[in-house]
Amino acid sequence: MSLSGGMILAGAASRLLPVSVPFRFFVAAVYFHCFVWLVFGFAAAGATDFIGGLGAPLAALHVATLGVFSITAMGATLQLLPVATRAPITALWRAKLVFILAFVGVHLLVAGMATGIMALLLSGAVLAAAALLIFAIITAINLWAAPQANVAMAYAWSALSALILLLAAGLLVAFDFQFAFLADHSSVAAIHFVLGIFGFFGLLAFGFSTVLLPMFTLSPSVAPKMARAVLAIAVIAILAAIAGLLVHDDRLIVMALLAGMIAAILHIVEIERVLRRRMRRKLDLAFVLIRVAHGALVAGLLIGLLLMLGVPVPGKWTMFGWVVIGGWLLTFLFGILQRIMPFLASMHAGKSRGRSPLLSEIGRERPLRIHAVCHFAALILIGLGIVTGIAPLLQLGAAAGFLGSLAFGWFAATVVSYLVPRNEEPALKAG
Q: What does the mean pLDDT of the chain come to? A: 88
Q: Report whether pLDDT(29) > 90.
A: yes
- Contact between residue 191 and residue 246 where contact means Cβ atoms under 8 Å apart: yes
Q: What is the reported pTM? A: 0.90
Question: DSSP labels for 52-91?
Answer: S-SSHHHHHHHIIIIIIIIHHHHHHHHHHHHHHHT-----
Q: Residues 147-150: contacts with CB within 8 Å, 24+ apart? A: 147/85, 147/86, 147/87, 148/1, 149/1, 150/1, 150/2, 150/3, 150/84, 150/85, 150/224
Binning pLDDT at 50, 70 and 90, where does residue 419 land? confident
Averaged pLDDT for residues 21-44: 93
Q: Report whether pLDDT(171) > 60.
A: yes
- In whole angstroms, give the CA distance from residue 197 to residue 333: 13
- In whole angstroms, give the CA distance from residue 160 to residue 162: 5
pLDDT digits (tens, 9 = 90+) for 186-231: 999 999 999 999 999 999 999 999 988 998 888 888 999 999 999 9
Flag the least confident range among 43-47, 77-81, 140-144, 389-393. 43-47
Q: Report whether pLDDT(407) > 50.
A: yes
Fold of 5-428: Cytochrome C Oxidase; Chain A (1.20.210)
Cβ neighbours of 365 (radius 10 Å) = 12
Binning pLDDT at 50, 70 and 90, where does residue 6 land? very low
Q: Measured in whole angstroms, how far is the alpha carbon of residue 311 from the centre of its chain?
A: 30
- Contact between residue 334 and residue 290 where contact means Cβ atoms under 8 Å apart: no
Q: Report whether pLDDT(5) > 70.
A: no
Binning pLDDT at 50, 70 and 90, where does residue 364 land? confident
The residue extents of the domains of the chain are 5-428
Determine the pLDDT at residue 176: 95
- Contact between residue 223 and residue 216 where contact means Cβ atoms under 8 Å apart: no
